A and B are shown apart, each in its own frame.
Chain A
């Protein structure tokens, strides 16, 4: 076979063959170039977009929310580092004071929170809809001038919701709390249980129970002790008897809250005591009040507030 091939005469190929071959090769290369281009162009574009995106995101992202902190006494720490005369606390960070230190947090432009000695607080949120602080233990004094329900303080046993106010909130290491309001109103809330506390009144809180019943600070000691027994020690009817007996006109704050916290059997007694102290307003239906109709109770509370 090899010999046969070697015996064949050599003949020059016509130019048209080379032209056809070159043309075919060119077409194939072009096709390959065309089919590869989108891949690397897409990769390059994606890379460029990613780079631009990273730069834009870094420039445009909102700064990490933080509040200004001012040292008032001693050496408070923010994020476990001792702070200077002033500093910042960011979302998630803790601020802690020891027995000899105090600090003040400026909550944006809405108010201030003073941190007493031996207190641990954590910044939870800072935004146009919500400014939120956690009080783990210790004592804070808040003074807020903002629309209601913008500033919140979470404690182990409830959340204090600012309704336009100034107040002090304490929480002991076991999670027991005490709210004392000096201006306006605060709502203490926990799992559907709510206590509305006006200026001059206080309210205790307990873990797994939530807010107790609010009482005015000038209420009798007997009322206050009996109320604590009723709220947190299953004081029952004997404790309720003392509260009803000790109640003055402005203690209808306490009785109004008790209406929805006592058994149905005791509700009538509480109702009768409130009405004996402050006559039932014309706009309030006795039956609806005893049925705990929310709108009726609201109207009644707004009327009673003029006597508190």
Chain B
């Protein structure tokens, strides 16, 4: 079973968010990368782009499939992991670390309360939340 860090928030689409004040760092979970298999391509937005809660902000592709990335929160992209498109395998090897994708400045921090806790997310994946 994939580890689910306790200090992160999660979506049912298998993204994580690390909230720090009005900023949130975003990536996909260990469970998600296991389901995807070898990640070979990542497409991320540019700094300054606006993202909306549960709308797509990018794409991740494994050998077999294309998957949309969903923004856990609404805001503006203030940082992008520029290394990731060159080393997409980091999504597999270190999904919560060097596999991070973007940092956003939240426009409605209250949205964070609606995200899943680690315990709730663990329950989701234990119930076969893959799609």
Partners in one complex: no
